[in-house]
Amino acid sequence: LHIEGVKFSPDARLLATAGADDVVNLWDVATQKELGGMSGHKESAQGLAFSPDGSLLASASFDGSVRFLRIATGKVESPLTGIPEGCSGVAFSPDGRTLAVACEDGTVRLWNLATRREVAVLKHGEAPLRFVVFSSDGQTLVSVGENGTMRFWDAPSPADL
């Protein structure tokens, strides 16, 4: 199995892996046993992010989908729709209300998770983006391009979204 992404939960008890087989698996770190996961991406799942409270796992795929797994129930929730193909980076804001998605078209797209609506598009440049991350205080957002460029953004406040 070719692993494309890996992420620990905030409490480090769970590990999520995303594979080239389009499946996201969840693992118990203590027992090293697979707990299940989710499928449904049509292309490789790469970007993974746990919500700050560890209750939700997001996965981004080059197929233009971001899917969610509710950890407590194992239920797959409705995906975000309207994302362009080629998005592979994903990050929750520290308050868990906003999701940032890094895309191949050189944009970072911000989504309000309560409404499941895109609320902002930030243009990094022409290079495809691979990673996006919020600072722990939520004040800064950083995007990283395939060509090694980094862009620092003042993260919008929840009131602005």
What integer is the mean pLDDT of 85-112?
Answer: 92
Residue 158 binned pLDDT confidence (cut-offs 50, 70, 90):
low
CA gap 84, 37 in Å, rounded: 24
Q: How far is CA 23 from CA 4, 43, 88, 145, in A?
A: 10, 9, 14, 25
pLDDT digits 0-9 by tens, 57-88: 999 887 777 889 999 998 988 888 788 888 88
Residue 4 binned pLDDT confidence (cut-offs 50, 70, 90):
confident
Which of helix, strand or coil describes residue 83? coil
Candidates 70, 69, 48, 73; CA nearest to 60 is 48
Residue 161 has pLDDT above 60, yes or no: no
Order of strands across the sheet with 150-154? 129-134, 140-145, 150-154
